[in-house]
Chain A
């Protein structure tokens, strides 16, 4: 069944979009991430213009993350103060990201720039995830109890403007969370991702937040940043396609439930290893796209 996307100005098979939404939703339910990093490249692959794919991807991430946020909030797993600090950074970051995106669009380099960001960011994050989870799996096999200090002091703790984050049991400077929120907000505007897959490790390893509170708090940031990206993309670039978003969401919310049910059967390290491999494979696919000789030497685009 073909459906006409009014902003992308093309018609696409609605079942294909529902299927993509379901598949990505399933994986995101399984791994507890938004899945934007998978969705945006898939949309570009089926011929959606990169600008529309990125903007609608952010809009879809918003819808996909809201139910998770509600569930985590009910269990009291959201550190509001930390979430708001991250979001304050994210607000500035995503505003800058949208400006960069508009500039790239004017230069005609959106597809290349988005691909490069995917290769570098997903490559690094994926490699770190795989390494970390393999170390954890090996350590478990050896049976040696991991020796980790409860709280490590680094130069980050010497920064000024300290604030007490009671739910996270932290008393740290607001600069690191603001910077993390800023960086991820910027990337999510350019890459059309929520940024959960980058935010979760950053919160655990850089900020030292307890794992129980990380998912809920990262969802808080993802929901608000993707809402901001949606608004700015719709307003300044004009590339959010609501028909596309709704079709993806319809498949996605159903898929996420099945994924989440399956995710409870996997161990934490296994899940992280699989997610790491998935992230890495998306990075490789994008890299292949950049390196391979294009089938056409010329491209046609609208005059900016």
Chain B
């Protein structure tokens, strides 16, 4: 009896510091590379992990997953009509917007966190810092949000953070076929009582592989050589066609 008690004590002693040091969340990605090959039609990456405390306990804990792609410069143009013809008119430039942005959470973020926290972690379209130049009309920002969502490059609650059991969670991030290459950051946040209590940052690389990569890098790196190659290939294809289909 005494021995059991001592063993328990020893075990407890062993586990206590481990428990204290255990991170509140542990998250991982199903892959850290998305490869764009010739047959690429989009990809989906799973973010999964476990929390130390049971989710939805008291006080409730919530999970937020944010994926952000490399920044890009875009320009939003308003169509105007001149003499009945529709032209691209006034424009607003957004020099550094995320090329990709996806937010998933166990609840709506405004139910989880106050505004300053949401702004700090850029949670939700309203809290993205979108610096603009040119026309100041807010319609351009609204149009940017709408167009980015239309081709699935920006997503808000497109997929849920789903729970399994008390501590396991997962969320799926869908990348469309038009996804940019580059480094992506995926942030997993754990929130309790109106503040973020833990965060883990994961990274993901989207890159072209195989023929698609070779072609793109040749076209960028040695455009003149690439141009000559395009001419030679087109001539060969045309000549081959005339040989194959020659009617005697």
Contact = CB atoms under 8 A, between A and B. Distances in A.
B241 interface: yes
A45 interface: no
B243 to A, nearest CB: 8
Q: Interface size class for chain A?
A: 35 or more
A299 B78 CA distance: 7
B219 A240 contact: yes
A112 B88 contact: yes
Interface in A229-258: 230-236, 238, 240, 242-243, 245-246, 249-250, 252-254, 256-257
B214 to A, nearest CB: 8
Given A66-B239, A108-B77, A298-B79, A4 B212 contact: yes
A9 B73 CA distance: 16
Contacts of A296: 79, 143, 147
Nearest to B229: A242
Interface class of chain A by DSSP: helix
A234 B230 contact: yes
Interface residues of B, number: 61
A253 B38 contact: no
Interface in A246-304: 246, 249-250, 252-254, 256-257, 261, 290-294, 296-304
A291 B85 contact: yes
A236 B91 CA distance: 25
Given A2-B41, A294-B86, A302-B72, A234 B235 contact: no
A130 interface: no
Given A2-B41, A291-B86, A257 B247 contact: yes
A2 B88 CA distance: 31
B73 A303 contact: yes
Interface string B88-115: 1001011100000000000000000000
Sorted nearest first, the 9 A-B pairs with minimum C-beta distance are A253-B241, A67-B242, A303-B73, A234-B227, A63-B234, A298-B143, A66-B238, A63-B238, A231-B227
Interface of B: 36-42, 72-79, 84-88, 91, 93-95, 139-140, 143-144, 146-148, 177-178, 208, 211-213, 215-216, 219-220, 223-224, 226-231, 233-235, 237-242, 244-245, 247
Interface of A: 1-4, 6-7, 9-11, 59-60, 62-67, 70-71, 108-109, 111-112, 116, 227, 230-236, 238, 240, 242-243, 245-246, 249-250, 252-254, 256-257, 261, 290-294, 296-304
Given A59-B231, A298-B78, 8 more contacts: A4-B37, A6-B212, A60-B234, A231-B227, A240-B226, A291-B86, A303-B93, A304-B75
